[in-house]
Amino acid sequence: RLRQQNRLNLGSGGCSEPRFPGRKRDFSPVPWSQYFESMEDVEVENETGKDISFSGSEGPVLLLLHGGGHSALSWAVFTAAIISRVQCRIVALDLRSHGETKVKNPEDLSAETMAKDVGNVVEAMYGDLPPPIMLIGHSMGGAIAVHTASSNLVPSLLGLCMIDVVEGTAMDALNSMQNFLRGRPKTFKSLENAIEWSVKSGQIRNLESARVSMVGQVRQCEGITSPEGSKSIVEGIIEEEEEDEEGSESISKRKKEDDMETKKDHPYTWRIELAKTEKYWDGWFRGLSNLFLSCPIPKLLLLAGVDRLDKDLTIGQMQGKFQMQVLPQCGHAVHEDAPDKVAEAVATFLIRHRFAEPIGGFQCVFPGC
């Protein structure tokens, strides 16, 4: 689904809500319509649709690809920040199996398939004459952006930006990824509870962004969308138990009932089980640095720390093959933690290469690296 930005109702694009003594922080969800102008389903190759958000009406298209487990909503506050700085259009895409996108084969999350998805969405939206497009991707989305660019799937591509994804660091982190995923809560009592966890755990350090983006990461557990639905399931289990010849509950039936009670108390869970995508992780990131360096277009790399650079990118950066900027004091979700800083870096990149015009008196600050 596509989303666009409403300039009349922008978020601040800044940091987390300030803490004041005695003031309770607001973890209630915020609707996407405060940040995007519209949301649409785009049908691609007879699939049920790609969920995409739009903003802006002039200038190059910034096609935004989110990280694993996230959705287009992770770009909400960044969208507000970037369109106040340069003349551009925003297209934020829910990748397959993420957000509200529906596909026939949700299990296929290979880099090749997802890159083709991006190319197909561009073709479905713009036909044979797409406008100038810059691909911007975070984490897994950054890897997919590079695979899309290197396969020439976007004919009007003018620039490429990766946010906090480096082959060496990513490959090293894969071994501990399952432990990280197991350490997350499996369910949440409410959307507010999920938002609060995301901020307090440090997954998203910006409360404003968490309030809009976490809605795209979690969903209601199946079978409890209505009180009637959950009642019928529980009663069905009880009726089966009464027919049990042994006159006692079997372990499997007790487990079903316990699971149902858990779902009633914790009705929200993750939209995608990232642990089940492990077989694709290597394909997303292996060879990524050389693919990025070989793309014959202007490139930007935004990192949360310079320690994330691997050997190939360090050499490439010294040779001036891409522009790099380090944004310290951010977590992995750089564009959510510091949307203003990321917007400034992207806007400066666009203006430097004369891809877009500044608006609102925006002044470029060219980084030293």
301: which residues sit within 8 A by CB, 6+ positions away?
Answer: 161, 162, 166, 292, 313, 317, 322, 323, 324, 325
- Indicate if 139 belongs to the active site: yes
Tell me if residue 151 is catalytic. Answer: no
Catalytic residue among 66, 147, 332, 335: 332
Report residue 4: phi and psi, to 5°.
-125, 165
The owner of tokens 């507010």 is 192
Residue matched to tokens 């990748």 = 95
Distance of alpha carbon 346 from its chain centroid, rounded?
17
Local structure of residue 160 (DSSP, 8 states) = E
Q: Is residue 164 annotated as part of the catalytic site, yes or no?
A: yes
Three-state secondary-structure class, residue 133: strand
> In the chain, which ranges are E strands?
2-4, 38-42, 50-55, 61-65, 89-93, 133-138, 157-163, 187-188, 218-220, 268-270, 299-303, 323-326
Write down the catalytic residue from 53, 55, 139, 209.
139
Of 51, 94, 117, 164, which one is the catalytic site residue? 164
Question: Mind telling me the catalytic residues?
Answer: 139, 164, 332
